Structure 1
Amino acid sequence: MRRGAWRQRLSKWRRKERPCVPKSILVINLMHIGDLLLVTPILRTLRTQFPQAHIALLADQKLQDLVKNNQNIDELITIDKKGQDDGLFPYLSFAWKLRQRRFEWVINLHQNERASFLAAFSGAKTIVGYATAVLRHCFTKYMLNRKAEKHQIESHFDVLRELLSVTERDDQGLEIWLDADAKEEAAAIWQREVRHERPVVGLNIGASWPTKRWRHEHFAKLADRLIERGYGIAFFGGPMDEEIVAETRALMKPDTQEAVSVFTGKLSLMQLAAVLPFCRVLVTNDSGPMHVAVAMGVPLVTMFGASPVPGFYPYSNTSVLIQSSEPCHPCGSHHCEHHSCMWKISVEQVEKETLRLLEASPEELASDRAGLGPHECRIIR
């Protein structure tokens, strides 16, 4: 074969392996609070690497507060998964409208049928990311989500590096931008609900799975002990957590209630992000509010039982993760008969780590974090 022909083939191969600089990029993530926030370092990196590109994010409409002010995107596209876009025909109509946008790159960071189809049907020149087995052949390149092996954000960066040859990263951790109204509302809500002068520890006792929840009795005992030490308590969570918060409060000592404030079911996601920084520390299960606290720079203590530590630990070196020592950890199961992984994490251990974040000197905290990366939490096994 002539030398010129070989050069032509090599040139075509290189163009295929290294996509051209895109004019428009769509990132898809239709998952929950924490999962959506774990995409924000990817958005920042794309903005840094492709400053002239139009970058859009497709997310669940009910979570738009978390990303609507994100300064690294030009456009937020939302899908009402449980409302007007639910059902076959509304969903196909949404997919058709998305296809008309003619994005050059589509990056799918949600490995399920709905997101994979939207990516595959987008008509983009380059379609990469996670995909279901049926739709993989429609992607330019795909890979499995490696959240079982490494942090979810690291797996997302693998998509950029391995499938799009984006090797430089701009990672400043999880990010939420508040608007002025949210800050004013948060200050007013805090002043109305917190009727004492104590420094406040937040408690987020809910979680999407029952197996992620620490015992109500443990949370109640921890709250009583912190109040005895002069701290106030603020309960967080969504409307679905109101019942378990009421059950937990009923287990607390009657004379501690004046130091307790309840924000459960009273805050939008934007207001939650604005209110959390009023807390000195958040004690939380593995949950959406945990990741919101990380994005807002709130130190936290979290307990992991069923949850896999490598994939979803709080992405912050001001956080402490107490990992269950049970041999069945992490099972990833939504239901469990014995639930021993979370029940055996003691009140004493959680109290100790909470008080250290509250009361240790800056030098002691710096020593705790020595050797950790900027987004690597301290893990207690």
Structure 2
Amino acid sequence: MFPIGQAQPAFEDVREIAVLRGGGLGDLLFAMPAIDALAAAYPEARITLLGTPMAAALLADRPSSIDAVEVLPVVPGVREVAGQESDPAEVDAFTARLHGRFDLAVQVHGGGRNSNPFLLRLGARHTVGTATEDAEVLERWVRYVYYQHEVLRALEVAGLAGAAPVVLDPVVHVSDDERAAAVARIEDAIGAPLAGRRVVAVHPGATDPRRRWPEERFAAVAAARMAQGDVVIVVGDESDREAAITIARSATDIAGPDSPGQIVDLAGVLGLGELPGTLAIADVMVADDSGPRHLAVAVGTRTVGIFWFGNVVNAAPFDRGRHRVEMSFTTHCPVCGVDVTQVGWTAERCEHDPSFVAEVGVEVVLADVADLLATAPDHAAAVSAAARATRGG
């Protein structure tokens, strides 16, 4: 593929590359195509991700273009942890330990106001990244403009280092053993084999509450798929537990005691390392604009995403053969009426957290699910059979 944006020649004699990307699960996944591009352009180089414990947990013992993860200290605007303040001594020790190690340092973490000064402290021979109007610039840089797809933004930065895209979607590899373990977990939960049954994953969470579809809509989708005999699995972390419990109970009540399908609540149960295998055995996932939905894309699962239209620009999947997007066109806060399209680092955010995607209806989501299931291979049944063979069943 051709580079995206104002591509520059590759740097010479690059053996060590650092990529700075903190944030959440989705943030990491958005950066992975750029990291793959860097790995292809510099095949002899070792790539170190400057990231979070979440990144280390996801990538542990998993093939990828990332050779190592250095967990970032708490730094305002780079890595922030609720209730934890930055320790200057810890930051100094981190940057001193890595100072001079890297031939190339790549910033794909926001607009550079905080991340560029931090990156420059590493003393890399070459630096590339983004910059807002008030940010310190790197050796090669491109202007940070909020409304741009995050994958393409990171690829544009990689292009500054002479790295052309090799993929557009992030790829997270899942082993047969991971799939088998996921199937065994669900079969144990439902007390029956998965062979011949569809699996629909649901994730009701999002970091920003305004991106969350109402719980009763997820419950209605789950109940409708249970009526078709599907197994519905609800995933998420501890912050999603309350919503998951509500959805599971409501879906069970709506479907009734004679429903041929079942629902399994795994929110807060699965560790991040177990989530890829679980999503990989799902035939389709229904979710908000969230990290687990982006992970489903990365493991090859089809998705139906409920998006606020502004986030479609920055985060929606690229294709429609495997992924569907239902959009809400909310332009003003339903509570106070402020314009919510002016987002980014300069925009003032009102104090209200209503759902911006509540106008998306259940029927359109169900139609998307049905169409994706009609065109998807019956891979969950095949994985179930393979899992039983692995266990000697």
With structure 1 as the length reference, what TM-score do the two structures score?
0.80
Alpha-carbon separation, structure 2, partners of 1:98 and 1:361: 46
- 1:1-381 counterparts in 2 under 5 A? 19-68=11-60, 69-79=62-72, 81=74, 82=81, 86-101=86-101, 103-111=102-110, 115-131=115-131, 136-137=136-137, 139-148=138-147, 150-161=148-159, 163-166=160-163, 168-171=164-167, 173-178=169-174, 182-196=178-192, 197=194, 198-254=197-253, 255=256, 259-305=262-308, 307-317=310-320, 318-328=322-332, 336=352, 338-339=354-355, 341-360=356-375
Indicate the structure (1 or 2) with the bigger Cα radius of gyration: 1
> Distance in 1 between the 2:47 and 2:252 partners?
52
Distance in 1 (alpha carbons) for counterparts of 2:249 and 2:10: 60
Per-residue CA deviations over 1:76-131 (Å, capped at 9, x if unaligned) read 22225449994222122112112152x11100110255533331101111111024
| C-alpha displacement of 1:64 | 1.4
Note closer, same or farther for the CA distance 1:334–1:240 as it changes in structure 2 (3 Å cut).
Answer: farther
Distance 2:70 2:151 in 1: 22
Q: Is the 8 A contact 1:308 1:330 kept in 2?
A: no
CA distance in 2, matches of 1:85, 1:179: 38
Would you say the 8 A contact 2:307–2:325 is kept in 1? Answer: yes
Structure 2 CA distance for partners of 1:351 and 1:84, relative to 1, 3 Å: closer
SS of match in other structure, 1:202: strand
Q: CA 1:338/1:291 → structure 2, altered by over 3 Å: closer, same or farther?
A: closer
Structure 1 residue runs of 5 or longer lacking an equivalent are 1-15, 363-381
- Scaled by the length of structure 2, the TM-score of the pair is 0.78
Amino acid of the structure 1 residue aligned with 2:20: I
1:361 Cα shift? 7.7
1:11 paired residue number: none
Query: How far off its partner does 1:230 sit?
Result: 2.0
Partner SS for 2:213: coil
SS in 2 for 1:130: strand
**Aligned length, in residue pairs:** 341
| CA–CA separation in structure 2 for the residues paired with 1:172 and 1:319 | 14
State the 1:185 CA deviation. 3.6
Query: 1: CA distance between counterparts of 2:66 and 2:161?
Result: 19
Q: CA RMSD in A?
A: 2.8
Alpha-carbon contact 1:307-1:331 (below 8 Å) kept: no
Structure 1 residue runs of 4 or more that deviate by more than 6 Å after TM superposition: none
Secondary structure in structure 1 of the residue aligned to 2:169: coil
- How many Å separate the matches in 2 of 1:334 and 1:190? 42
Question: Offset at 1:289?
Answer: 0.2
Distance 1:348 1:331, change over 3 A: farther
Q: Which amino acid aligns with 1:76?
A: V
Residues in 2 aligned to 1:45 and 1:39: alpha-carbon distance in whole angstroms: 10
Q: What are the superposed Cα offsets for residues 218-269 of structure 1, whole Å, 9 maximum, x if unpaired?
A: 1111212221222221111001100111222333343258711011011111
Deviations 1:264-297 (Å, cap 9, x if unpaired)? Answer: 0111112100111221110000000011100110
SS in structure 2 of the partner of residue 72 of structure 1: coil
8 Å CA contact retained: 2:73, 2:91: no
SS in 2 for 1:153: helix
Aligned 8 A contact 1:239 1:265 in 2: yes
Q: Confirm or deny: 8 A CA contact 1:120 1:135 kept in the other structure.
A: no
Q: Determine the C-alpha separation between the residues in 1 that align with 2:168 and 2:156.
A: 17
Cα distance between partner residues in 1 of 2:268 and 2:284: 20
Calculate percent identity across the aligned residue pairs: 23
Q: 1:334 to 1:95 in 2, by over 3 A?
A: farther
Render the CA deviation track for 1:348-381: whole Å, top value 9, x for unaligned: 111111111112488xxxxxxxxxxxxxxxxxxx
Higher percent of residues as helix: 1
Give the distance between the partners of 2:19 and 2:180, measured in 1 at CA. 31
Question: Residues 272 and 326 of structure 1: is their aligned pair in 2 closer, same or farther, counting only changes over 3 Å?
Answer: same
Q: Are 1:232 and 1:259, in contact at CA under 8 Å, matched by a contact in 2?
A: yes
What secondary structure sits across from 2:57 in the alignment? helix
Q: Which residue in 2 is equivalent to 1:8? A: none
Q: Which runs of 5+ in 2 are unaligned?
A: 1-7, 75-80, 333-339, 344-348, 378-393
Measured after TM superposition, the shift of residue 160 of structure 1 is 2.5
State how far apart, in whole Å, the 2-side matches of 1:259 and 1:123 are. 55
